[in-house]
Structure 1
Amino acid sequence: MSSHPEENIPFSMEPKVTARKTSDLSVSSDPAKDSSGALASAVDMDDGTKPERGPRFWLCFVAIMVSAFLMSMDMTGIGTALPVIIADLHGKEFEWVGSAYAVSATAFLPLSGGLAQVFGCRPVMLVMVFLFAVGSAMCGAAPSTNFIITARTIQGVGAGGIASLTQIIIADLVPLQERGTFNGLVAIGYAFGSSSSPAIAGAFAQNGQWRWFFYMNLPICGVTAFLVLTCLDLKVPRGTFKKKLLKLDSRM
């Protein structure tokens, strides 16, 4: 009998160390895309690896910043042009022209987040930009104060959705360690819109062209929607429309 019995053992008793399998949330060899060619989720990148960002990512981020700029501009700029607007429309209920936007935007914030979780970020973002554009067009064509209050309510719904979706999209696209930087860049868009809008609205109102303060949103919304449609390609939750509605109801 050998003095080293372990030599006769056909296999080692030491635990075998194998490479950890890639989880379902991992990305393909291209860190900027998943297996379907979609932009990779930031959850996949939170292990410290830095994703390679191509033109699609930056164009999508530009769309997010422009959306933030528009949302904040129309919230703060209306105050400067409001006296001219009310005088032109021969109205009295001026306070609701500004408040309707803020109230509807605030009320729609939580619902837009639930919609994005159920239906996906891209379709919901497109709907929000569309509503904002429709509200802007209605504001520009308003024949009365009641009409512009209604239009501002629609515009505010779109703005609330945009405010919520910008944060959700950044969380999906950007790793946790870089999220503060990109949120700061979006905040610059908010700040620039808030600070520049009184001068822009005042310039239009001074020349009797206050309606163009709203009309100028339309081409910008068109470009934003195009960039979101072509560049933002995150994973969309599966399921029928009915199942998604039931899922949304359970989240509310």
Structure 2
Amino acid sequence: MLPYGVYAAILFGSLFIIILGGAIVLLKLPLRKLVTLLQSIFHFTKVRSVGNDYIIIDVCGDEFEISKKLWNRLPFVFALGMCLLVAILVFIEGCIFSTRHVYSTKVCSERVPNCYLFKSQLTSFKPLYEFVCEPNRPVIPSNMSASFAVCYGFVLPDQSSIDILNQLGVCTGILSLVESIYPLVYKFARKKYGRISLIVLFCALVIIETTVLAMQLNITFMTIILLLLTQVLIITIFILHYRKVHHPDNISRVGSYVELKDVN
């Protein structure tokens, strides 16, 4: 099995590369292609555009302007990037490199047989023991003082075309769920009681995550990722609701027409 340092480098290095590469691509993406992605995932519709540098999109009845300025497109890139990141991580977890966190006497799995044993989650940078566990045997024996283990497995060789298609279906289902729920939550947040409810929900999610990690409950990595996705989408909703729309000085509007004017 891999030494713990190599495992950590693969896991966190891959995650860092995906996040960094995705952020660069989305921030440098041509405006029209960015709007196309927003339309496909969130169903935001393009209202009108001026060349390739300025586009107005409709977000559940509210119009927002997207330009090449970083701050102008950042909330949309943030929400879009998080959705794509979750889809990529779900696919990797299910079809390529599966990881499992164990906090109790759970039995070993044929899917993730390579394990690192730790005294506690707070000491997860230094494993006590590295081993390949036997199926149906406890990962953490009762006679050991360790309370936390991380197990992994390269599951790609065992995947069939049906398995890959099923995992792609899971990724598509997550994006479809976002597409259906996001507009409803956005409209709900227009009301005062809606904003209060979202604040309470956000705080509850943070408390749940903190409690789960502190008490070392046996919860999957994907559950944590989905909770983070929900928090990110709630944050972007608040940003869009309180964001001031700025119209460029060289654009005037008469009804649905856009006219360019020279600016000295």
**Bigger proportion of residues as strand:** 2
**TM-score, normalised by the number of residues in structure 2:** 0.28
With CA pairs under 8 Å and 6+ residues apart, which has the higher RCO, 1 or 2?
1
**Bigger proportion of residues as helix:** 1
